Amino acid sequence: MDLFSNIEEEINELKEKINKANIDYYINDNPTLSDAEYDALMEELKHLEEDYPNLKTPDSPTQRVGAPIQSDFGKITHIVPCLSLGNIFSKEEFLNFNETCKKTLALDKEPEYCCELKFDGLAISVTYENGIMTKAATRGDGYTGEDITLNAKTIHSIPLKLNTDTPPKIIEIRGEIILTHKEFKRINDQIDAENEKIAKENEVREKEGKKLRAYKNLFSNCRNAAAGSVRQLDPSVTASRNLLMFCYGLGGMEGVSFETHSESLLKMKEWGFNLNPNYKVCSSVDEVCDYIDYIGTIKNTLEYDCDGLVIKINNLRMQEEMGYVARSPKYATAYKFPGLQVKTKLKDIFVQVGRTGAITPVADLEPVNINGALISRATLHNLSEIRRKDIKIGDMVYVQRAGEVIPEVVSVVKEERDGTEKEFNMPTVCPVCGAPVITTDTVYRCSDKENCPAQIKHSIVHFVSKGAMNIDGVGPQIIDLFLDNNLIKKVSDLYKLKEEDIISIYYTDLEKYKKSSQYKKEGFKAVSNIINSIESSKDTTLGRFIYSLGIRHVGEKTGQVLADVYGSVEALKNTTEEDLAKIPDVGEIMAKSIYNWFQNEDNLNLLDELLNCGIKLKTEEKNTKAEFLGKTVVFTGKLNLMTRSEAEALVRNLGGKASSSVSKSTFLVVAGENAGSKLDKAREFGVNIMTEEEFMELVNK
C-alpha cells in the first residue's frame, strides 16, 4: 500500500470518528468525545485535506463551515412537491377528517394514524445522491425553493453523508429548521450588546458630524430567527446560530421503499437525522384524541415552539389512494392548538372591500404583542359573527392569532363595559366608491364591480399573483402607484405600459436620481425588470389564465380542471351551465358563477383585450380516444410506469375523467401493486379491471 492510500485511509477514519461524534452529540444527546478531543480530530482532518486537497470530499465534516459568501440564492425544483397541510382546530373536525378517510378508502374501521409535533420553524428539503448530501432547499411555493445548500451544511443535525453502507440512489429528506428558546434569547442578547456598542459609537459620530450607524433589529420570535438564519448570505453566520433540524418525511426517492410512515421515520433516525421523540402511532381515533390532550399539556414545557400536531395516515399505500386536493394531501391534516389570547381595546370597526366586492368588518385595536407579532387589526368575519359575540366599539376584547397566523377577536370582556360602547352596523353604501351595498345571506357586497377602485385594485393584485399570471415584482404597492397615477384602470392596461411611463412616476425626483451613484450603477434597472416581468407573463398556461380572471369560486385547481376539460378559452366561453355542473369538483354553484361570468359583456371585452395583448396560452394537446370520452377511470395501488398524477393527466388527455373513488358508473379501474379496497369495490360493482400494462396497451392501440 503506497503513502497516498495510507493518507486516504487515515482521512476516512477521521471522518468516520467525527461523524459518529456529531451523531452522538447532536442526535443522541450522548457526547462521547470531549470538546478538546473533537477539536483535535477536526484540526488533524483540516491539515490533511489542506496537504492533500484532491482527497477533500463534499461529505467531509470540514465542509460545514467556511464556504464563500453568496451573492444570492438560486432556485431548486423539488423532485416531489413540498405541499402544505390543511388545518383543523377541534376534535370534532378531526372526527370528520377520519370519516372522510374511511369513506374514501372504503374502510369499516379507523385507519392507523401517525401523530407528530407540528414545529413552528422553516420547512426544508435535503437531497442525497448515493448517500451524499448534494443540495438543500426551502419549501418555497411547494414546487421550487431557494437553494440553501451551503447554509444547510453548517447545521450539525443534517448529516453530510447518510449513516449507512447501502444508501438509496436518490432521496429527499423533509424536515423543519428550528431555534430553541435558549438560543433565541442568546442571539437577541448578542444583538442588544451590539446595539449598545453602536449607540456609544453614534454618540461620537454625532459630535463629529458623521453619518450614524444603523441599529440591528431584534428577532420577534423563534420562527423568524430560524428563517432569517437559514437565509444568511454568509454561511458562517448561519453556523453561529446553532440551528436544529427535525426530520418528518420523505419526498422523491429511488432505491428504497417503505410500508408505513413510522417505518420511514425510524430509518431516517438510523441514517443520522434528528427524530423528535414526541411522535406516536395510534390505532384508533380515541388514541389520537388522547395524544392531542397530552401534547396540549406539555407543549409549553418544550424547549422549542410547537403550535399543533400533524396527523397522517400511517400506511403509505393508503396515503397514495387518498391522493391530494389543490396543494394539500388528503391523507394528512394539521391540528392547531388554540393561540395565545391577549386582552386589548377595540378602538373602532372599519370595513374593507375585497376583489369580489365583499365588504368585511375589521377590528382596529390598541396594538398588542402576541407571540412576537405586534397586532393592531383583526378579522371580525361578518356582521352575524359580530352580533353572535356581542362585540361593540369600545369593548375590551380577547384577541388571538387563529392557527398562529390570522388575528381574530375571540370574545368580549363584558364586565369591563362602562356604557360608552357603541353598536356597529354595516354600511348601506360602499365606503370606497359610494355605490349601493347589496346583501346575500351574510355577505354584504359593493354593487359596482366595474368602477369600484377597491375591487379594481384587488382584481389586479389577484391577476399578477403567483398562482395566476405570476408577474414578479408587481405587488400591491406598485399597483397602487400605477392606479394613483392613472397609468392603468384594468388588468389589460398592464400590457400597454412603457418604460418611460413608469420612470416618470417611479422616481419621485428624477433629476436628483440621475445624479446619484445608484443611477450610474443601475440606470433604470428596476423599471426594466417590471416591463420584462410583464412581458414574460404573456407565455402562460390556460389553467393559470382562467384562474387569473378572478371568476368567483374558481381557484387554481378548478382553473386547471377547466383547462383540461375544455382545452381553450373559446370552448369554455361557449359551454352551458348544465355541462359545467357535470364536471367533478365544479358543481352547481360554481357552474352558475362561471357561466354568468362569460355572459357578461364587460368580461368578454376584457377577455378580448387580454388575448389581443399577445398572451399565448399553452394547453396540453388532446389526443382523445372514443373508448375514454366522458368516461371515469380510477387508479389504485402503486404504479410503476408513471406517477399517479401523470396517469390521471393521461386519462384527461384521452377525453376521460380521473376520479379517486369507485362507483357503479366507473368505466375502468387500473390496479397497480398492492391494490386495496378500491379493487374490492370494483369487483363488487362489476367494474372492468386492468393492470397498468393492459391499460397502456389500450391507450397505445
3-state secondary structure 596-625: HHHHCHHHHHHHHHHHHCCCEEECCCCCCC
- The mean pLDDT value for 396-408 works out to 77
Query: Over the stretch 415-438, which tens digit does the pLDDT of each residue have?
Result: 999 999 999 999 999 999 999 999
pLDDT in tens, 269-303: 999 999 999 999 999 999 999 999 999 999 889 99
Among 279-283, 494-498, 697-701, the range scoring the smallest mean pLDDT is: 697-701
Mean pLDDT of 468-495: 92
- Please check whether residue 450 is in contact with residue 601, taking contact to mean a CB–CB distance below 8 angstroms: no
Segment 257-265 mean pLDDT: 96
Sign of the CA dihedral with 679 first, then 685, 686, and 690 last: negative
d(CA 21, CA 154): 15
Query: Which of the following is catalytic: 15, 46, 56, 118?
Result: 118
Query: Which position has the higher pLDDT, 625 or 480?
Result: 480
Band of pLDDT at residue 663, cut at 50, 70 and 90: confident
Please write the tens of the pLDDT for every residue from 204-260. 888 888 888 888 888 878 888 898 899 888 898 899 999 999 999 999 999 999 999
Mean of the pLDDT values across residues 483-499? 93
Query: Band of the pLDDT at 491, cuts 50, 70, 90?
Result: very high
Structure confidence at residue 68 (pLDDT)? 55
pLDDT of residue 27: 62
* 8 Å CB contact between 417 and 408: no
> To the nearest whole percent, how much of the chain has pLDDT over 70?
94
Res 25: pLDDT? 64
Residues of the chain above pLDDT 90, percent: 51
Residue 654 zone, left/alpha/beta (φ > 0; ψ -120 to 50; rest): alpha
Mean predicted confidence (pLDDT) in 65-77: 69
Q: Quick check: 420 and 427 in contact, CB under 8 A?
A: no
Task: Give the Cα separation of 5 and 637 in Å (integer).
Answer: 49
Whole-number Å distance between alpha carbons of 401 and 339: 6
Average pLDDT over residues 146-153: 94
- Quickly list DSSP for 533-568: HHHHTTEEEHHHHHHHTT-TT--HHHHHHHHHHH-S
Q: Spell out the domain ranges in the chain.
A: 3-64, 87-181+225-336, 342-441, 453-537, 540-618, 632-699
pLDDT at 619: 63
Q: What is the pLDDT of residues 346-371, one digit of tens each?
A: 999 999 998 889 999 999 999 988 76
CATH code of the domain made up of 87-181+225-336: 3.30.470.30
Specify the pLDDT at position 364: 95
pLDDT of residue 697: 83
Q: How far apart are CA 480 and CA 488, in angstroms?
A: 10
Q: What is the pTM of this model?
A: 0.58
Give 16's contacts (C-beta < 8 A, 6+ positions apart).
none
Phi, psi of 175, deg, nearest 5: -160, 180
* Total residues found in the chain within this entry: 701
Cell of residue 128, nine digits: 442525497
pLDDT of residue 284: 94
Highest mean pLDDT among 14-18, 58-62, 193-197, 648-652: 193-197
Name the least confident of 82-91, 224-233, 670-679.
670-679
Q: What is the pLDDT of residue 8?
A: 78
- Which residues partner with 50 through β-bridges? none
Equal CATH topology for 453-537 and 540-618: yes
Paired residues of 244 in beta bridges:
178
Which residues, 6+ apart, have CB-to-CB distance to 167 below 8 Å?
Answer: 128, 130, 131, 255, 271
d(CA 475, CA 402): 25
Report CA 662 to chain centroid distance, whole Å: 31
- Can you say how many angstroms the Cα of residue 227 is from the centroid of all Cα atoms in its chain? 14
Dump pLDDT digits (tens) for 150-208: 999 999 999 999 999 999 999 999 999 999 999 999 999 999 999 899 988 888 888 88
Give the pLDDT score at 58: 74
* Long-range pairs of 528-533 with CB within 8 A, sequence gap ≥ 24: 528/499, 529/473, 530/473, 530/474, 530/478, 530/497, 530/502, 531/497, 531/498, 531/499, 531/502, 533/471, 533/472, 533/473, 533/474
Long-range contacts of 224-229, Cβ-Cβ distance < 8 Å, separation of 24 or more? 224/372, 225/179, 225/184, 225/187, 225/188, 226/121, 226/122, 226/177, 226/178, 226/179, 227/121, 227/122, 227/177, 229/151, 229/177, 229/179
Instruction: Give yes or no for residue 3 having a pLDDT over 50.
Output: no
What's at 508, amino acid-wise?
A: T
Could you report the per-residue pLDDT of 598-651, keeping only the tens digit for each?
A: 999 999 999 999 999 999 997 655 667 778 887 889 988 888 787 776 787 788
What pLDDT is recorded for position 81?
87
Most confident of 46-50, 541-545, 583-587, 691-695: 541-545
DSSP 436: B
* Architecture in CATH for domain 632-699: 3-Layer(aba) Sandwich (3.40)
118 classed as catalytic: yes
Phi and psi angles of residue 422, each rounded to the nearest 5 degrees, phi first = -120, 145
**Residue partners of 246: CB distance under 8 A and separation at least 6:** 117, 119, 157, 175, 176, 178, 274, 275, 276
Where does the pLDDT of residue 1 fall: very low under 50, low under 70, confident under 90, or very high at 90 and above? very low
Contacts of 216 (CB under 8 A, 6+ apart): 191, 194, 195, 198
Mean pLDDT, residues 477-498 taken together: 93
Per CATH, the number for 3-64 is: 1.10.287.610
CATH code of the region 342-441: 2.40.50.140
What is the reported pLDDT for 256?
93
Helix (H, G, I), strand (E, B) or coil at 389: helix
The answer to whether the beta carbons of residues 195 and 214 sit under 8 Å apart is no
Cα–Cα distance for residue pair 347/382, rounded to 1 Å: 18
Phi, psi of 316 (to 5 degrees): -70, -30
Name the CATH superfamily for 540-618. 5' to 3' exonuclease, C-terminal subdomain (1.10.150.20)
Is the predicted pLDDT of residue 686 greater than 60, yes or no?
A: yes
Amino acid at 91: K
CA dist 378 and 381 (Å) reads 9
Average pLDDT, the chain: 87
Report the alpha-carbon distance of residue 36 to residue 19 in Å, rounded.
Answer: 16
Mean pLDDT is lowest, of 73-77, 131-135, 583-587, for 583-587
Q: Tell me, what DSSP letter sits at residue 432?
A: T
Q: Which fold has domain 453-537?
A: DNA polymerase; domain 1 (1.10.150)
pLDDT of residue 66: 47
